[in-house]
């Protein structure tokens, strides 16, 4: 009887699944407690899968099309979360002041009122947890070295508590919520995701995650109103911000 319960599905059926379904299947298998299936999946040599998708990457936002992260990116020894934030450090001193957040937002094409309100909110929320001592910063500085301490709840959990990038959590954004397109999110799907990601009584996290995804949608949506997987990956390692700034400059 037990043997019947734990018997894995024939491996031969797996390649017919699309990559995002395959990962969802992996997660379901895990919940069922069948380590046999998980082992079989992770040792697969299928090129459309990231090796060891459960292993958080310190410096690279990896997915099956970018197994080494964004090509040609100089990580400067920073974690993926530090890279996300470094774009806003306009003078490169390791500290992000509210006016730098504001300038960065304007540089990627956000409007004046949104940039004003959002930059103030971000620096208000993230300044204190990232300070090098218990004394608050009157100028609301954010220290990039400690940005992992600015991690909040009710998010996708793609960044771990040390600011690394978890490829399986990133993939789950699309396998769980990309109902209409496997590699993109509609505005409605983003709002479903935000509600699903909520942790109990985590009002700061709800607000922060809503803001993050709403501004990302604003700057990153394509002509069809879709937020593409590649745009989201670029937001995680900050390369999207540089791309947007360059395209704004050249237009
Ligand atoms: C236009 C600018 C920005 C956009 C579009 C943006 C977008 C995002 C997105 C989509 C996430 C992932 C949320 C999730 O996993 O559900 C995120 C996380 C994060 N962002 Fe930003 N962000 C921006 C600016 C900033 C700035 C200026 C800072 C700080 C200086 C910052 C700090 C963070 C931190 C600490 C996280 C981790 C949150 C967590 O995982 O709990 N972001 N951001
Ligand atoms: Ca700075």
What is the SS3 assignment for 9?
coil
Taking the CA of 81 as reference, the closest ligand is 1
Dump pLDDT digits (tens) for 157-206. 999 999 999 999 999 999 999 999 999 999 999 999 999 999 999 999 99
Contact in structure between 87 and 64 (CB atoms under 8 Å): no
pLDDT (average), residues 20-27: 42
CB atoms within 10 A of CB 39: 12
Q: How far is the CA of 212 from the centre of ligand 1 (A)?
A: 5
CB atoms within 10 A of CB 58: 16
Alpha helices in 108-178 (DSSP H): 112-127, 167-177
Q: Which of 212, 230, 241 to mutate to test the pocket of ligand 1 (most atoms within 8 A of CB)?
A: 212
Q: How far is the CA of 98 from the centre of ligand 2 (A)?
A: 9
How much is the pTM?
0.83
Residue 227 β-bridge partners: 185
Please tell me the residue having the least CA distance from ligand 1 atom 22.
212
What is the SS3 assignment for 223?
coil
Please tell me the residue having the least CA distance from ligand 1 atom 1.
105
Q: Does 155 contact ligand 1 (Cβ within 6 A)? A: yes
- Rounded to 10 degrees, the C-alpha dihedral 156/187/191/220 comes to 40
Dump pLDDT digits (tens) for 47-92. 678 999 999 999 999 999 999 999 999 999 999 999 999 999 999 9
Q: Quick check: 136 pLDDT over 50?
A: yes
Which helix (H) or strand (E) segment holds residue 96: the answer is strand 95-96
Residue 214 β-bridge partners: none
Cα dihedral across residues 240, 241, 242, 245: positive or negative: positive
Q: How far is the CA of 30 from the centre of ligand 1 (A)?
A: 29
């Amino acid at each position: 009887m037990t043997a019947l319960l734990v018997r894995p599905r024939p491996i031969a059926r797996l390649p017919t699944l699309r990559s995002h379904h395959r990962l969802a299947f992996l997660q379901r298998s895990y919940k069922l407690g069948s380590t046999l299936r998980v082992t079989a999946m992770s040792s697969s040599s299928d090129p459309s899968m990231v090796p060891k998708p459960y292993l958080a990457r310190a410096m690279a936002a990896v997915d099956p099309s970018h197994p080494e992260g964004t090509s040609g990116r100089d990580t400067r020894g920073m974690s993926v979360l530090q890279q996300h934030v470094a774009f806003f450090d306009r003078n490169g001193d390791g500290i992000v002041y509210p006016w730098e957040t504001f300038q960065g937002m304007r540089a990627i094409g956000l409007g004046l009122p949104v940039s004003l309100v959002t930059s103030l909110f971000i620096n208000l929320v993230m300044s204190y947890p990232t300070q090098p001592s218990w004394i608050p910063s009157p100028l609301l500085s954010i220290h990039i070295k400690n940005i992992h301490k600015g991690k909040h709840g009710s998010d996708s959990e793609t960044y771990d508590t040390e600011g690394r990038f978890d490829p399986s959590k990133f993939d789950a954004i699309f396998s769980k919520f990309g109902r209409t397109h496997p590699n993109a999110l509609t505005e409605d799907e983003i709002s479903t995701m935000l509600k699903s990601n909520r942790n109990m009584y985590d009002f700061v996290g709800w607000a922060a995650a809503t803001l993050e995804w709403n501004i990302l949608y604003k700057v990153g949506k394509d002509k069809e109103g879709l937020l593409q997987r590649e745009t989201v990956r670029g937001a995680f390692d900050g390369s999207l911000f540089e791309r947007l700034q360059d395209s704004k400059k050249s237009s």
